[in-house]
Amino acid sequence: MDRIDQIVARHADREGPLLPILHDVQAELGAIDTAAETRIAYLLNLTRAEVHGVVSFYHDFRAEPDPRPVVQVCRAEACQARGIEAMMPAVAAAAGDRVRVETVYCLGLCSVGPNARIGDDLHARLDEGALTKLVERA
């Protein structure tokens, strides 16, 4: 809990400190669990429901830590049109249980899809081979 108290203290002077706090908690602790939600709510004088509502709204906030590497694959219309759906079985096979593959809807690179993202790096013009390689190396 000390870590959370420190994070909250860091953002105490901001207007609307909740989202920056949640980002830091997710980054530093790997998850925002019920205990963390409860503590953040107490420190910000919010209800548990309010914090939980925000945490559960965003897919980037996780209730439990998952140490696996993450590959985000775009499956929105443009990437579908460029064949992403057909690649998904191979992606799943390459990922196995070791890599978490997340579906996202649009990375903003529609003209150069199919696209994927690992951390802050974007990967474009992927074919099945390139994509599975990305997953294997993640």
Partner 1 sequence: MGYAKQPDFGTPEVRSDHTVTLSIDGREVTVPEGTSVMRAAAEIGGDIPKLCATDMVKSFGSCRLCLVEVEGMRGTPASCTTPVTEGMVVKTQTPRLEKLRRGVMELYISDHPLDCLTCSANNDCELQDAAAEVGLRDVRYGYDGAHHLGQVPDLSNPYFLFAPDKCIVCSRCVRACDEVQGTLALTVEARGFDSKISAGTAKDDFLSSECVSCGACVQACPTSALMEKSVKQHGKPERSVVTTCAYCGVGCTFRAEMRGEQLVRMVPWKEGKANRGHSCVKGRFAWGYANHKDRITSPMIRDSIDEPWREVSWAEAISYTAGRLKDIRAQHGARALGGITSSRCTNEETFLVQKLVRGGFGSNNVDTCARVCHSPTGYGLKTTFGTSAGTQDFDSVEHSDVILVIGANPTDAHPVFASRMKRRLREGAKLIVIDPRRIDLVRSPHIEAAHHLPLQPGTNVAVLTAMAHVIVTEGLVDTQFVAERCEVDAFEDWARFVADESHSPERLEPVTRVPAEELRAAARLFATGGNGAIYYGLGVTEHSQGSSTVMAIANLAMATGNIGRPGVGVNPLRGQNNVQGACDMGSFPHELSGYRHISDAETRALFESDWGVTLDAEPGLRINNMLDAAVDGTFRAIYIQGEDILQSDPDTKHVAAGLEAMDCVIVHDLFLNETANYAHVFLPGSTFLEKDGTFTNAERRIQPVRRVMDPANGYEDWQVTQLLANAMGLGWDYGHPSEILTEIARLTPTFAGVTWERLCEEGSLQWPVNEANPDGAPVMHVDGFVRGKGHFVVTEYVPTDEKAGPRFPLLLTTGRILSQYNVGAQTRRTANTAWHPEDLLEMHPTDAENRGLNDGDWVRLASRKGETTLRIKVTDRVAPGVVYTTFHHPETQANVVTTDFSDWATNCPEYKVTAVQVSASNGPTDWQEDYADLAERSRRISHEAEGEPAE
Please report the DSSP string for 45-65 in residue order.
Answer: T--HHHHHHHHHH-TTS-SS-
Q: Which residues from 7-26 bind partner 1, rule CB under 8 A? A: none
Report the DSSP beta bridge partners of residue 100.
70
CB of 129 to partner 1, least distance (A): 33
List binders of partner 1 among 50-89 (CB under 8 A).
50-53, 56-57, 63
**What is the closest distance, in whole angstroms, from the C-beta atom of residue 37 to partner 1 in the complex?**
5
List the one residue out of 68, 64, 54 whose CA is nearest residue 19. 54
Q: Is 48 in the site for partner 1 (CB under 8 A)?
A: yes
The Cβ of residue 58 has, within 10 Å, a number of other Cβ atoms equal to 13
The reply on whether position 100 binds partner 1 by CB under 8 A is: no
Question: Token pair of 75, please?
Answer: 């499956």
Q: Does 46 bind partner 1 (CB under 8 A)?
A: yes
Determine the Cα–Cα distance for residues 55 and 26; give it in Å rounded to an integer.
10
Q: Nearest distance from residue 71's CB to partner 1, in Å?
A: 22
Handedness of CA 99, 73, 131, 90 (dihedral sign): positive
State which residue, 49 or 93, has the beta carbon closest to partner 1: 49
Q: Which of 7, 18, 22, 37 binds partner 1 (CB under 8 A)?
A: 37
Positions that interact with partner 1 (CB under 8 A): 34, 37-38, 41, 45-53, 56-57, 63
